[in-house]
Structure 1
Amino acid sequence: MSRARGTGRRTLATLAAGALAWSLLMAASAVLTLCRDGWQEPAHIRAVAVLFGLAAFLAYPVAVILAGWASGGKKFDTRLAAHLFLLGAGTLGLTAAFYGLDHRAYFSQWHAAPFTVTWSIQYFFTVAGAFYQFAAFGMRLYLPIGIPALCLFALWHAAKAR
């Protein structure tokens, strides 16, 4: 019983450490790109880094657990594909969702009264516009560090899942 409990703790600790490392790498990737592009406002850089880091931290454990469940007992290439897809899509999706909520909060001051038909249309198109904007401009912030980190983390999880 204690051995199973200890294994669970190590797994939880490994998952937490992985989530922390993943979030720091995603935040660093965003900061590196923004600094390279010449952003001069440290407060905005910090806000973007927190958004990317928090989304990555929350997406990581869910993606890793789902990928392990979806590919459990399968061949290495299946495990690798599951981890690549779910970790990448989970991180992107949650970051886009957080960005959409932030976008909606900013534009809500110009929207109609809550829960009206007009408000619903404004809400939908504001969030949809934020998702498009994130896809067009935000995803590039993952390029210097995020893609190689995704490959390394997916390889690590696929290899240790044996």
Structure 2
Amino acid sequence: MDRIRAARPPILELFGGAALWGLMMMASAMSALYMRNRFETEHAAELALLYFAGGLFSWPFMLPIGRFFAYRRRIDTRFAAFFVCLTAGTMLMTAFLFSMDYRIFYSRWHAPFGSLVWTYQFIFTGANAVYQFLVLGLRLFLPFGLVCLLVTSYALAKRMR
């Protein structure tokens, strides 16, 4: 029961951290995009919003999970718990948001909602979008996102006892 209580972060850390983590992920994507092609894309604003939302919406789920696994552990274990949770959560949430955007675009050519064909199209459109994000989108988290992840995981590990 103590572990569950300790997993609940303070409200400021939960919501303030979410905004800060979203900003860091957006900055990571924009810096990587700038280094790769000097923003020569018409979708820079949409990408900024996608990476911001991925960070913003993943933090409130992953912080309590990381705190749950870090409870009463050594600092290296706490660091690992936050590192894994933030990595997986941010990538999964950003991939999910990308797949929903992808789905909205292709939905005009899909079968009516709820049909067997629609289900098939929904599953495979989502799977294709996630694959495409993993191949093309994950590299926008590097190198700045990795630095943010290391520093944030260390700070969270130090802060939690």
Give the TM-score taking structure 2 as reference length.
0.88
2:150 maps to what in 1?
A: 151
Residue 100 (structure 2) aligns with: 101
**AA in 1 matched with 2:139:** R
| Correspondence 1:48 to 2:66 | no
Q: Which runs of 5+ in 2 are unaligned?
A: 1-8
Q: Could you report, residue by residue, the CA deviation over 1:104-156 in whole angstroms, capped at 9, with x for unpaired residues?
A: 00011111111111111111000000000000000000002100110110001
Structure 1 residue ranges, 4+ long, deviating more than 4 angstroms after superposition: none
Is 1:127 the equivalent of 2:115? no
Residue segments in structure 1 that go unaligned for 5+ positions in a row: 1-9
In the aligned structure 2, how far is the partner of 1:62 from the partner of 1:120? 27
Structure 1 residues 42-63: Cα deviation after superposition (integer angstroms, max 9, x where no partner): 5x10111111101101111221
Distance 1:86 1:67 in 2: 6
8 Å Cα contact 2:24-2:145 kept in structure 1: yes
The alignment yields a C-alpha RMSD, in angstroms, of 1.5
Query: What amino acid is aligned across from residue 17 of structure 2 in structure 1?
Result: G
Conserved? CA contact 2:32–2:144, under 8 Å: no
Residue 5 (structure 2) aligns with? none
Residue deviations 1:54-102 (CA, integer Å, cap 9, x gap):
1101111221111111220111121111100001101100000000000
State the SS of the aligned residue for 2:91.
helix
Distance 2:115 2:14 in 1: 42
